[in-house]
Structure 1
Amino acid sequence: MKHLEIKKEGHICWVYLNRPKSLNALNTEILKELTEFNASLKDDLESRVVIYTGTGENFSSGADLKEKREPVTRLEPGEITLESLLFGPS
């Protein structure tokens, strides 16, 4: 994954947002990567705890306001990612 670093220590899985130059701002690409990672947890029988953090000085500055966006006409990548975080793998 381009913008996520995944490290496993026993039953703990660390997920690092890795866009420190943009203060780990959430763009469409990183949201897709997070959604894919969260979906992969369904097949991960080792990890019992997942800790989300960021590289650099902070966790995340929030949405990447520099990213050009189309008008909202469907479920946004951020909403899909949030659902995958809240409800986990099915």
Structure 2
Amino acid sequence: MVQGLSPENLSSPSPQLVGERSTRSLRNSPHLDGAWSRTSLYQNAILPSTISAWNSLPDEAKLVDYISDFKIAIDNNKPRKNPLFYHGKQRQ
């Protein structure tokens, strides 16, 4: 939606970037404006939860130009298994 690669029916209701609202240089300029909601049902819907997930990504992942680079940045952001807990033996 941010890079313009999604269909129009998905990108038209999407909120604008925080940096597009302000003329000042902001630290959170690549963040999306949150979708306001009165009910918890809408807050857990796809658009607000996607905005929350997007805003939690590191800025390096948000600012890449290509989908392949975005996938690599997301993969690098995933938490890794702690090797201390996985040393070959199963728990009893």
Q: TM-score, normalising length from structure 1? A: 0.29
Q: TM-score, normalising length from structure 2? A: 0.29
Highest Rg: 1 or 2?
A: 2
Higher strand share: 1
Higher relative contact order structure (alpha carbons within 8 Å, sequence separation ≥ 6): 1
